[in-house]
A and B are shown apart, each in its own frame.
Chain A
Amino acid sequence: MAGKTQTATTEDNGRAEQRSAPPTLEQPTTPMNGADILIHAIVREGVDVLFGYPGGASMEIHQAITRSHLRCVLCRHEQGEIFAAEGYAKATGRVGVCVATSGPGATNLVTGLADAKMDSVPLVAVTGQVPSANIGRDAFQETPIIEITRQITKHNYLVEHIEDIPRIVKEAFYIANSGRPGPVLIDIPKDVQQSTAIPHFPDHVSIPSYTPNAHASRDELAKVAEMIKTANRPIIYAGGGIVTSGGSQALREFAVKTNIPVAQTLMGLGAFPETHDLSLQMLGMHGSVYANYAVNHADLLLAFGVRFDDRVTGKLEEFCKHGRIVHIDVDPSELNKNKEAHVPIESDIKYALEELLGLVEPGDYEAWHANIDAQRKRHPFSYQKMKDVILQQDAIDTLYRLTEGKAVISTGVGQHQMWAAQFYQFDEPRNWLTSGGLGAMGFGLPAALGAQLARPDALVIDIDGDGSFAMNVQELATLHAEQIPVKVLILNNQHLGMVVQWEDRFYEGNRGHTYIGDPEASGATDDMQATPGHLIFPDYVKVAEGFKVPAERIEHRKDLEPALTRMIESKGPYLLDISVPYQEHVLPMIPSGHTFADIITE
């Protein structure tokens, strides 16, 4: 695949890099305006690229950016810029930064902030605010963004005095990427941006009320080691916390040494190599039968960096009901939140795993492995081989093969997202960018472009649905304007597929506004046929042409591999629209609130 491989993992350098102080920069001796102080403070955090969309209350900041070495990527919507910042952060572990204006600029960030909060993405969002004197007077483009974002940020600041800017920026970056990461918003009134002062940039942060990164005690870990020793059917339930903490290598060593199988959450894909013999791949609603079987039959559940999300557990009381539960997480509020753990431990997971490694011994779980393998053989992720029609799973499977599993993949939300999780196997962390907790459609394209900027040598592909793609389609302009070589693969079924699937399963197939194709072409497909290319609506090939992004559409299986190859080998951005049938369901499926016993496999 044309030298596009990214072999080095970025997990360990990510957080460490940004936290170590950048080369000592001298303190300024002449006055600067608030916007310049802000940009200097951001540069001092090691930032080289940020995402922005200017407006009246933030143009002063953009003026300051032009006086710096920062690269500002002009996305075409604030939701695009914040998803891009998330993609940048998820692909590297470094803090993503975005800037928006007041009012609608700020409110357009809201979905991204909520997403970053749910998925623990380190983010600093800066918003311009109307001048201090106008706050509270319903000024033009005024919104109380601090109030609005209080519950969807890890922390937020309204800057009242120019002297506070250096400290607040330093704190914001520290808070965003320590402990359990999350988004921090800084709201700066325009008069504060325009006033001047000689700043003092602090070297250290001191927030007495904030003590992240707890470490498990020796006793706690010894207890876990003892439980592992006496277990017969242990399983690791690994989540996004492993990726965040840079603990993937430690997890790999731990699992291999103990011989314990690993089921991964949607956010944890790549935390453990999916192609490893011990990997059970994804668990949960659309997880593998064998992963869910293993959790259901386990006598010891090692829950590492997870939060017992309802999409994983189904009916909480029944989840892992035969097993004792060890839950290790850096955020103590996750312990006992949804599911009571027998041994809850507040700790950085990387630290805990590295320490545990010295306390555990190889286990003999032959019968347990044999049981799981029997399930694996009986119920692999599978799909029907079609003659002419391209199935979504087939497209992703082929893409996986052609890219040797080494691409960075982003997604929208829905069926295509689940199939990507099932059929693209991740062996490295930070190659999988998806909106997990919030489930925000439109995430794929902007996240991909953010990731591509962070990792210019990687092959970055947005696997999208036609519904999700439309939600941030304007970012095609950013791809062209900034020459970002992201590939977009649209699995186009002219429907909101996941909702259609639920309609089929639980609403007798009654369509409640889930057809998004051309009303004139409605009903053009029979069972298991894709919409003929000329009837696909909107015509994304023409849309892409308008954005100067090369594009093509295919509808026959014989064209799949050549088209994917053309996409992969294209130098710049590329869009491949694939017409697929809408009748296909994501399987297996455990209906919401149900248990392993209710799993649907056909």
Chain B
Amino acid sequence: MPKKHTICALVENHFGVLGRVAGLFSSRGYNIDSLSVGETEDPKISRMTIVVRGNDRVLEQVVKQLNRLIDVIRVIDITQGAFIERELALVKVKATPATRSEIIQIAEVFRANIVDVSTSSMTIEATGKEDKINAMTTMLAQYGINEMARTGNVALLRDSQPGQA
């Protein structure tokens, strides 16, 4: 059964690395749910967080094929351990004076922030796990979502693994 995996790849911060990784996924037919990339504590190294769907064999290949790229330093399927993953979403939702307070209440429930308000809309910033973002957007959809931007997941392994003190 295809499962969802979160893969972290540490890559050299070189020209075109994103192209190499994206090209690898498309040319080998792997399905990406999301891919995010940014600097790490070392400016020469970038971290890619890739959410990919596939069975164990596909995942094994994804990890191995990524490792084959010269610019890829390390690949970890962090779904194998305990990990923290977060996504940031900006949601621009239709808001009238009548619905504004309801929307604020929903945002509060999801610990989201209102970052912009206009006469006809509100923009909400939310961070959290993908499920939470999905739950919030479902609630907001009833008012009409004008635009939405999501970053895709970023993730790190927990240092405190279950079973440890």
Residues of A within 8 A of B (CB): 146-147, 150-151, 154-155, 158, 160, 175, 207-210, 331-333, 335-337, 340
Contacts and interface: CB of A to CB of B under 8 A. Distances in A.
Contacts of B132: none
B15 A175 contact: no
Contacts of B60: 336
A336 B59 CA distance: 11
Contacts of A337: 61, 64
Interface stretch (B46-54, B65-73, B99-107, B134-142): B65-73
B157 to A, nearest CB: 20
Contacts of A210: 70
Contacts of A335: 64
A155 B16 CA distance: 11
B15 A209 contact: no
B88 interface: no
Contact of B67 (A147, A207, A333): A333
Contacts of B27: 151
Contacts of B12: 209
A224 to B, nearest CB: 21
B19 to A, nearest CB: 6
B111 interface: no
Contacts of A154: 70
A207 B64 CA distance: 18
Nearest to A158: B15
Interface in B17-76: 19-20, 23-24, 27, 57, 60-61, 64-65, 67-74
A336 B19 CA distance: 26
A126 to B, nearest CB: 18
B98 to A, nearest CB: 50
18 contacts: A147-B16, A150-B23, A151-B27, A154-B70, A155-B69, A155-B71, A175-B70, A207-B70, A208-B73, A209-B73, A210-B70, A331-B68, A333-B61, A333-B67, A336-B57, A336-B60, A336-B61, A337-B64
* 4 closest A-B pairs by CB: A333-B64, A209-B73, A155-B70, A151-B27
A160 B57 contact: no
Contact of A333 (B15, B16, B68, B74): B68
Nearest to B63: A333
Interface string B1-25: 0000000000110011001100110
A332 B23 contact: no
A120 to B, nearest CB: 12
B23 A151 contact: yes
Given A155-B70, A209-B71, A147 B15 contact: no
B129 to A, nearest CB: 30
Contacts of B70: 154-155, 175, 207, 209-210
Contacts of A146: 16
A209 B20 CA distance: 15
A333 B24 CA distance: 13
Contacts of B15: 158, 160
Contacts of B65: 333
A354 to B, nearest CB: 25
A332 B61 CA distance: 9
A150 B19 contact: yes
Nearest to B12: A209
A126 B23 CA distance: 22
A155 B27 CA distance: 16
Contacts of A336: 57, 60-61
A175 B71 CA distance: 12
A332 to B, nearest CB: 5
Contacts of A160: 15
B114 to A, nearest CB: 40
Nearest to A154: B70
Contacts of A175: 70
A150 B20 contact: yes
A403 B24 CA distance: 45
A147 B73 contact: no
A180 B98 CA distance: 66
A146 B11 CA distance: 18
A160 B14 CA distance: 12
A321 B140 CA distance: 55
A175 B70 CA distance: 9
Contacts of B16: 146-147, 150, 158
A147 B19 contact: yes
Nearest to A151: B27
Interface string B141-162: 0000000000000000000000
Nearest to A146: B16
Contacts of A158: 15-16
